[in-house]
Amino acid sequence: MDLVLIDALEVDTVIGVYDWERTITQTLRLDLEMGTDIRPAAAGDDIAQTLDYAAISERIAGFAEAHQFALVETFAERLAETLRAEFAIAWLRLTVRKPGAVAAASAVGVSIERGSRPGGA
C-alpha cells in the first residue's frame, strides 16, 4: 500500500466548548495519510487514477467552513467519514491539531485511523 499525504493543511472553522469560542473562527492544522495504490496513476500519469490531494484539500476547507463543532474529536470523526465516503478512501489516518488551545502547548488535538489497510497491514 502506498500513502497519499497532506501535511499541515490549515483551515478556519468555528470550534470549541466555551461560549466565546462559538463567536469566532479558529485555525485547525490537519495531517492526512490516505492508503491507496499509486501504480495505476503512475503508469498512465493520470490523476484520475489516484487520490487527488488538491480536490481533497478543497473538500476539507469546505467542510470546515460549513460545520461547527464543540469538540476536535467530533470534527475529526465527521471529516473522516465524509472523506472516506466521497473519495472512496479505504484507510486513512487523520490528525487534527488546535494551536493555542492550551497556553503551555503549541497545539492539542487527536489522531484517528479509520478503515482497513489493504493487505491487512
Residue 97 contacts residue 111 (beta carbons within 8 Å): no
98 labelled catalytic: yes
Catalytic residue among 64, 98, 106, 118: 98
What is the spatial distance between Cα 79 and Cα 92, in angstroms, rounded to a whole number? 11
The cell 487520490 sits on which residue? 51
Strand partners, 34: 4, 92
Residue 78 contacts residue 13 (beta carbons within 8 Å): no
Q: Catalytic site residues?
A: 98
